[in-house]
Chain A
């Protein structure tokens, strides 16, 4: 038993890294939204689920490979997120923290059950021609889709970093995050920036969905699985910290994988909840976060 664990460890770690990169992408959207809008987006999991379905239907109806589908889903997700915030969330919450909590919860209920209604509860997966191909690294076999997803999410994270640090939009977003009133005074349309930030956060989910579908599955409740994971990463890495989300993603991915190996599939999941609770109690700013 012990030797099985040891021999499977490298594979578990690799697996964790690869899933972790996608988790990081999911968490990035969440931490961005929190860092700028100061809201906790409870609809995050449900929106990931919608992205997964989008990728799925692009493939099953139009035959578009999910990795190419990114080019469609990401802009689409951005627009969806922008509109959702601009015309719904932003307007209806009247600025109270509690309200945003409940409205995003309400949205997640609506999305989940619409998916249930229109797509049924069946689990959907995609089987690409290369879904089962692997690369032999000697000490471990890596599945090709997971490998592609891994590198793709790193690239996307890098692109996001470039967006935030080098473009005007990115600068405006960072200005608003730091100092809302000041940003208004220099002429930045804060409401539009909020909506755009939310859109970018959902666009991250769009990308994550496309990268996740080939190595996972989707049903109306898939989102729930990722809610706790995403929040744990964000809290671990520090609310509002992009670097934190990335590193946190890897840590959690590996924890989940290794934990599953050692404790068994179902109990391994508990590690994440435990980490989440402990961080909230003892180090709510996370590893890299500065603000509360």
Chain B
């Protein structure tokens, strides 16, 4: 598991991340980092099911959107502050994970079929959100800007920065726990060979469902964060395929099934994006680059960038 970065370096980087806003007053950079952490967090949620358990979801956004709607509706309609609402969002995400997980895994869907069905579920949720009253339908929901901890809203970029930093640290801790726990070993076994895992006493169905519920819960919280920061929610945003793709992209680029893969991937992809934006002023260019990077990584670096480090440092590669 250990990369060439030792525990001291990790701690050092964490301290750096914590004190950074005191040194950098520039909101723009703080905001970029916030987005990097946010995407890494979502990537980690994908990593649990995709990287460790080997089940590739193409519909990860469904947890995000459902969580976002949950906490947002609770706040705008019922006045329940997002600091409580986020727990409902987590629950909502986990329940969606339970339903989708059961429907898919109980009926033996794997590989491409599983990826497709998650796509369909996400699409279904988007259509429903577009058609019902209490989500605001196609018009969407506008959120008020009333900064406070209770509302998980902050006057300056710093607040959101720390919140997203906290989220990504939690996600990393979850991955670390996974790597040293029995549950994690079971997920990895399932990824490598389901039948063998089953024969050795692992309840494959239950483990997969648990994994997707974790992914769902994490995604739900991300939805609340997003809604409170960007103050607007509608079906195309809540259930956008682009976010599903970005989740898996950062993880694959960084390294599936590794603790820091999503974070590394998120940094690399966002830096590439910023550089591309400076070179050529055009929408969609960064996404073209994303697509190419995905193809190149799959073709030449299937273990992602972290896999590259492992190889270089002479450690056993996959």
- What's the nearest-Cβ distance from chain A to residue B58, in Å? 7
Complex interface: chain A residues within 8 A of B299 (CB): 91-94, 99, 103
The A contact surface, by secondary structure, is helix
- What's the nearest-Cβ distance from chain A to residue B275, in Å? 17
Complex interface: chain B residues within 8 A of A148 (CB): none
Inter-subunit contact A269/B294 (CB<8 Å): no
Any A CB within 8 A of the CB of B119: yes
The listed residue with most B CB atoms (<10 A of its CB), out of A103, A113, A220, is A113
Bound complex: CA A114 to CA B58 (Å): 21
The B contact surface, by secondary structure, is helix
Contact stretch, chosen from B13-21, B32-40, B277-285: B277-285
Interface size class of B (residues with CB under 8 A): 35 or more
Complex interface: chain A residues within 8 A of B241 (CB): 224
- What's the nearest-Cβ distance from chain A to residue B51, in Å? 12
Inter-subunit contact B109/A280 (CB<8 Å): yes
Q: Given A97-B111, A103-B298, A281-B107, are A116 and B128 also a contact pair (CB < 8 Å)? A: no
Any B CB within 8 A of the CB of A264: yes
Inter-subunit contact A113/B284 (CB<8 Å): yes
Q: What 0/1 pattern do residues 75 to 117 of A give for CB contact below 8 A with B?
A: 0000000000000100111100111011101111111111011
Q: Given A106-B292, A109-B287, A113-B288, are A101 and B112 also a contact pair (CB < 8 Å)? A: yes
- What's the nearest-Cβ distance from chain B to residue A64, in Å? 28
Bound complex: CA A107 to CA B298 (Å): 12
Beyond A98-B56, A267-B131, 18 additional contacts (C-beta under 8 Å) are A92-B295, A97-B111, A97-B112, A102-B298, A103-B294, A106-B291, A106-B294, A108-B291, A109-B290, A113-B291, A227-B119, A228-B120, A270-B128, A273-B121, A280-B113, A280-B117, A280-B120, A281-B107
**Partner-B contacts on A (CB < 8 A):** 39-40, 88, 91-94, 97-99, 101-103, 105-114, 116-117, 220, 224, 227-228, 231-232, 235, 264, 266-267, 269-270, 273-274, 276-277, 280-282, 284
Name 16 interchain pairs, CB-CB below 8 A, sorted by A.
A39-B112, A40-B112, A91-B299, A94-B302, A102-B252, A109-B294, A113-B288, A117-B288, A228-B119, A228-B120, A231-B116, A231-B120, A266-B131, A270-B124, A276-B117, A280-B113
